[in-house]
Structure 1
C-alpha cells in the first residue's frame, strides 16, 4: 500500500471514529431526554387528571372518573390509564397496544424504552380514596427517535465524506512533491537523470528531494565523465587525427569481425582510394595541395559509407583510404565508385579506385591480395575508371533481379530457408541465448545470409523476410532465448508493432523468449525509431539488443540512455582493444554498462585465451565459433 493510501486510511479511520463517538454521545443524550420527557408528561397529566377527579366527586363517583379518563385517553398520547381504590382494586382502566408500523423492529429492540409510568393519589379532602396511574405512549417516542437516528446517520455520512475529501485533497497538496520524487527515482532506474528544481515546502520532504537531487547529479556526472573517457580513448586508439577517418587498426578489426560472422554484414565489398604519384604532387605542387587532395578523398569516402549500414572509411596508409561496404550488390558498388571517380576527375585529381568483394570465412590476407591486384589494374587506367575484382563464387547464382525475387518469395512460401542457431554461453557453460542465422537452400547448397541478404535489400524484401523468419521461429518450442536480427525497415514500419502484438499470445503459448537485434549503424542513424521500438518490445516482455556495437563518438554512449537496450554485442577484439590494459579504461567502460543496466556480450570469440581474458574483465556472456558453431535447429 502506498504512503498516500496509508495516511488517508489512518486519518479517515480516526475522523470516522471521532464522528461516530460524537454522534453516539449525542444520540444517547437524546434518548435520555425523550425518556425524561415521556415521564414528565405522564406525571403532569396524572396530577392534573387526579386533581380533577378528586374535585368533581371527591373521588367516589366512578362514572364521572371514567368520563374524565376517557376524554384524556382518547387523545392517543398514553398507553394506559388505571384508576384504583385504596385497596388496590382496579375501578377503571384503559389500555392500547404498542404498535410500531414505521419503526424497524431491530431499532425498537436496541432502544427498549421502559414504560414511562407516573402514579398520583386521589384524595377526599385529607383522606386518600384511590390512585391514578398513567403511562406515556412510547410509540411516538420511538418514531421521534427513529427520525432523529436517520438524521444523525445522514449527517454522519455527509460529514465523513466531507472529512475524507478534505483529507484527500490536503494530502494531495502535502504529498504532491513525493510523486515527483517517485518519478525522479523511476527515471534514474530507467537510465534518465532528472533534477527537481521546484523544492517542496515541507521540510522533511524538501530534505529528501535535495538528497536525491545530489545523488542524481553525481550519477549523471559519473556517467558523463566515463562516457567522455571511453570516447576519448576510442578516438586515440582508432581515429586518424588528420582526416578524422578510422585508422588501419580499426580497419583490420572491423574486417575481421565481419568475415568471422555469419549474418547479412558478412559479405560485401572492400574498396580502396589511392592517390596517383603522391610524391610527385608533393614536390611539384606542395604539401598544402597534397593535404587538400587527401581531404577531398576522405570526404568522398565518408559520404559513401554514411549511407551504408555498418559501412566504415579508414585511412590505412598516408595516401590510401579504404572502405568496408557491407550488404551491397555489384551494381550498387559499381555505381558508387564510378560516381566517386567522376568527382575526382572533375576536381582535377588523379585517384586510383578499386574494389574486391569479401565474404564470410575469407582470410584477410587473401582479400587484401585481391584488392592489391585490383589497384594495379586500376592504376593502369590512371584513375579514369574504377576496377572491380570479381572473385568466383561457384555456389552463388548469377540471376537477374526478377529471377531472384521469384526464388526468394518461393523460398518463403515453400519454407526453403533453414534456421541455424549460434549459442551465447555464460561463464558457467549455460546457453542463455541462441542467435538465429538464416541460410537459403538453393540448388542443392546452403547460402549464408551474406550471399543473399544484399539482394533482399536491393529488392526491398527485408520486412517481408523478417516477418517470415519471426513466424517461423514462433512455430516451435525453444529452450532458451532466441535472438533475431531485424532490418531498419521492419522496426520503422508503422504496422510492425500491431503485427507483433497480434502474435504475442501465440508465441507465449510456445513459451518463446524473444530478443530483437538491430545493427549499431542503423540505431545511430535512426535513434528515435530505435528508442520507440526498444520501449515497445521490452514492454511486451521481450528484449532489445544492439549488434556490432562500436564507439564512433560520445553520441553512441549518450544515445544508450534514450534507447535503453537490454544488451550490446561487441566484437571481442574490439572490446579488448578498447578496454586495454589500463584499469581506468576498464572502469570507464563497465561503469557505463552498470549505470544503465546493460549486458555486454562479446562476439567473435575464437580461442580459449580470448575467452579467459574476457572473463577476467568481467564479461560473462560470450559468442563465437570457439564457443559454439552455428547448428541447424535450436536446442
Structure 2
C-alpha cells in the first residue's frame, strides 16, 4: 500500500471519528434541549389550564369541558385530572404515532418526559391535581430532521475537507511518486536522472542520493562501453590494411559454422602475397603498406553487397574473404576482378607479374565442417594455388552429391503437409547448480526414412527463399507444444533472413495474436548481434512485438563488434550469448564486457563449450551458464 493511501486512510479515519464525536455531542445537546423545552411547555400549559379552571365554578362538567378544549386544540399525549385521593376523575389520551421516523432512530432518541403537574382549586379548597404530558412524536420528528441536516452538512464539510487534504497531500507527496519511479527504474537497471527537485528537504536528499548513484552506474557503463569499443579496434582490426584480423576471422567463422544460423555454408577465398619481403625492399615499407591498404579497400567494396561477407588479414601475407550463403559458381566475377586488379597494379608499378602478385585459392564450406576442417580446406586451396601460373586461381571442387533445388522444395512441402518436422532441444545449463536454464529450439525434417537436421536443411531453405515459411511453421509448432517440461523456458533463434523478409512481421504478429491464449510456457526469441547492428530499427520492431505478447528477448552470436553499446541499455535483453572462443580469447575485453552487462542486469552465457576444462576457465571469468556438447557431461 502506498504512503499516500496510508495517510489518506489514517486522516479519513481520524476525521470520521472527529465528525462522529461532533455529531454525537451536538445531537445530545439538541436532544436534551428539546426534552427540557417540551417539559417547560407542558408545565406552562398545565399552569395556564389550572388557572382557567380555578377561575370557574370548577364543577366536574366544567373541568371536563376545559380539558377537552385544551386537548383538542393542543398537541398533548395525555391530560389527566386526579382528585385529592389520587383517583383519576377524568383523562384524555392520544396514541403516539412515529411512522414518519425510522424505527432505529426512535430506539436511539426515545426518552422519558416528566409529567407537568398543577394543583386545581375551587376557591380556597384544593380539589385535585391536573397532569399534562406533551406529545413526544413531534419532537422526535424534529430531532430526526435536525440530525439528518447535521449529517448532510457535516458530510459535505468532510468531503470538501478530504478533497482539500487530498490535493495538499498530492502536492506534498508528489516527489514520492517520482522517487518511486526512479527506484523502479534502478531495479530494472535503467539510468533515469530526476532533474526536478522537490522543496521538501528530506525528499530532496533522497532524490540527490539516487541521482548520484545512477550517474555513477551510467558513468561506469559509458566508460566500459567506450573501452570495449576501443578494445575492439585493438583486438580485431589490422592496423595496416584497416580490415579485420585473424582473431576476428576465427570468431566470426566459428559463428558462421554453427548450426544456429543460416550462414553455415558458402565460399572462402584465400589470397597470399608473393614474395612480400622482396616487395618491401623494392617499394619500401610505407608504399607496400599503402598498396595493401588500397587492395583491402578494393576487396571491401567488391563484397559489400554480399550479406555477412567478411574480409580479414590472417597473417602478414595472407588475406581471406568469407562469403556465407554464396557458392563458388556465383563468385567467379569477383575472382576475375581480383586477378584484373592485381595485373593492373603490377603494370602500374612496373613489377614482374611472374615474380610478384597473388596466389588465389577458393573453396566451399558446408554445414558439417568445423573450424579445423575449414582451415584444412583453405590451406589446401592455397597450396594448390601456389603451383599455378600467375594470374590464375585454384578452385577446390566439392565432391558432394547435391540434391536438386526442386527436390528439396518437394521434401520441405511434404514436411509441411505430413507434419514431419521434429522439434528438438539443446540444453543451456547453470554449471553451479546443474539446473537447466532453458532449452534452445532446433528442428529436423524426417522424409523417406531419412532425417535432415538443421545444419543440412537450412542451406536449401535459404536458397529456395523458404526461410519465412519454415520458421513460421516451427514457431507455431513450438507455441502449441505441450510437453512435460512446461516450467523450463524455450528459446527460438531467429535468423537474419527471417527478419529481413518484408512481410514477416505482419504474419508473425497474426500468428501470435491467434495463439496467444494457447501458449503454456515461457518463450524467448534470440536475435544475432550482427542482425541488430545491421538492421537495428527492424530488430527493434520485432523486439517490441515479442514483448507485447509476453515473450522474452535475448542476443546470440555476440562479439562486441558494434560501434557502441547503448542499444543494450535500450533493448534490455534477458541474456547475451557469446562463443566460448570469444570469451576465452581476451581477458581484459571480457572483464569490461562483464561490467557493461552487469550494470544493466544482463547475463552472459557461453556457447560452443565442449570440454569440462573450458567450464573451469569460464567460471574463473565469472561465467556460470553454458551451452554446447559439454552439458551432457555435467
Q: Which range, TM-score by smaller chain? A: 0.7 to 0.9
1:376-423 CA distance string (max 9 Å, x none): 5997446xxx875432222x31x24x5543432222222343444332
Matched, 1:596 2:600: yes
Aligned residue runs from structure 1 range 215-364, under 5 A: 215-259=213-257, 261=259, 263-272=261-270, 290-302=288-300, 310-318=308-316, 320-329=318-327, 333=331, 355-359=362-366, 360-362=368-370, 363-364=373-374
Distance 2:333 2:160 in 1: 78
The residue number in structure 2 matching 1:496 is 508
1:455-495 CA distance string (max 9 Å, x none): 43344322221121123333341534332212346556134
Distance 1:187 1:305 in 2: 44
Q: Decide whether aligned partners of structure 1 residues 40 and 65 sit closer, same or farther in structure 2, where only a CA change above 3 A counts.
A: same
The residue number in structure 1 matching 2:567 is 559
Q: Is the 8 A contact 2:556 2:576 kept in 1?
A: yes
Q: CA deviation at 1:74?
A: 1.4
Q: Give secondary structure in 2 for the equivalent of 1:100.
A: coil
Matched, 1:625 2:629: yes
Aligned residue runs from structure 1 range 51-450, under 5 A: 51-57=51-57, 60-259=58-257, 261=259, 263-272=261-270, 290-302=288-300, 310-318=308-316, 320-329=318-327, 333=331, 355-359=362-366, 360-362=368-370, 363-372=373-382, 376=386, 380-381=390-391, 389-394=396-401, 396-397=402-403, 399-400=404-405, 402-427=406-431, 428-441=433-446, 445-450=450-455
The residue number in structure 2 matching 1:461 is 466
Q: Is the 8 A contact 1:604 1:624 kept in 2?
A: yes
1:243-297 CA distance string (max 9 Å, x none): 4422112212332444355643322222346678878987787766655554444
The residue number in structure 2 matching 1:517 is 526
TM-score, normalised to structure 1's length? 0.86
Q: Gaps spanning 5+ residues in structure 2: where?
A: 349-356
Q: Is the 8 A contact 1:572 1:604 kept in 2?
A: yes
Q: Gaps spanning 5+ residues in structure 1: where?
A: 630-635
Q: Give secondary structure in 2 for the equivalent of 1:56.
A: coil
Q: CA deviation at 1:46?
A: 1.3
Q: Give secondary structure in 2 for the equivalent of 1:191.
A: coil
RMSD: 3.3
The residue number in structure 2 matching 1:608 is 612
Q: Give secondary structure in 1 for the equivalent of 2:490.
A: strand
Q: Decide whether aligned partners of structure 1 residues 420 and 66 sit closer, same or farther in structure 2, where only a CA change above 3 A counts.
A: closer
The residue number in structure 2 matching 1:23 is 23
Q: Is the 8 A contact 2:445 2:453 kept in 1?
A: yes
Of 561-570 and 211-220, more deviation after overlay is shown by 561-570
Q: CA deviation at 1:232?
A: 2.7
Q: CA deviation at 1:76?
A: 4.5
Q: Is the 8 A contact 2:554 2:575 kept in 1?
A: yes
Q: Give secondary structure in 1 for the equivalent of 2:55.
A: helix
Of 30-39 and 485-494, more deviation after overlay is shown by 485-494
Of 530-539 and 26-35, more deviation after overlay is shown by 530-539
The residue number in structure 2 matching 1:633 is none
Distance 1:25 1:489 in 2: 81
Matched, 1:477 2:489: no
Q: Give secondary structure in 1 for the equivalent of 2:610.
A: coil
1:559-599 CA distance string (max 9 Å, x none): 2111111111111111011325xxxx554332323222222
Distance 1:304 1:544 in 2: 35
Matched, 1:507 2:513: no
Of 170-179 and 413-422, more deviation after overlay is shown by 413-422
Q: Is the 8 A contact 2:262 2:462 kept in 1?
A: no
Q: Is the 8 A contact 1:267 1:451 kept in 2?
A: no
Of 246-255 and 129-138, more deviation after overlay is shown by 246-255
Distance 2:108 2:149 in 1: 17
Of 407-416 and 70-79, more deviation after overlay is shown by 407-416
Q: Decide whether aligned partners of structure 1 residues 490 and 176 sit closer, same or farther in structure 2, where only a CA change above 3 A counts.
A: farther
Q: Give secondary structure in 2 for the equivalent of 1:65.
A: helix
Q: Give secondary structure in 1 for the equivalent of 2:462.
A: helix
Distance 1:444 1:15 in 2: 82
TM-score, normalised to structure 2's length? 0.86
The residue number in structure 2 matching 1:632 is none
The residue number in structure 1 matching 2:557 is 548
Q: Is the 8 A contact 1:81 1:135 kept in 2?
A: yes
Q: CA deviation at 1:116?
A: 4.8
